[in-house]
Structure 1
Amino acid sequence: MKGVYTVDDVQEILNVKRAKAYEIIRELNKELEEEGYTTLKGRVIKSKFESSYLYKNIQEIG
């Protein structure tokens, strides 16, 4: 199982347009870089995405 979300994953999970998904990934990756992590364009670590967008908690509640 992969430990990152791609732009397609973010787009599907949040039901946003592709440009918005890229914007979200850039934002999260910028935060990760400031924390000293290396990032990949167009991908974001699952744990960072889920903690920022509470996707895991919403899924458990819903």
Structure 2
Amino acid sequence: MSKLMINAEEVAEIMDCSVRDGYKLIKEMIDEINVKGYITRAGRVPRKYFYERTGLEDQEGAS
């Protein structure tokens, strides 16, 4: 089972950007999720939401 949450380091690796930019992307996604009324954790977003928002395919979940 893959991890449910994704952190800035993973975002940076996937998006080919700096970790700082990874944190910025996560912050944007957290703000979007909070508007919907969901509980969030600083520095992490649901992996599924990340892949939906970026339009990328989750290679770990593909079988």
Matched, 1:31 2:32: yes
Structure with the largest fraction of helix: 1
Computed over aligned residues only, the root mean square deviation of the Cα atoms, in angstroms, reads 1.4
Tell me the percent identity: 28
Runs of 4+ in 1 over 6 A off after TM superposition: none
SS in 1 for 2:25: helix
The aligned length equals: 58
Q: Normalization by structure 2: what TM-score? A: 0.84
Structure 1 alignment gaps of length 5 or more: none
- Structure-2 residue corresponding to 1:53: 54
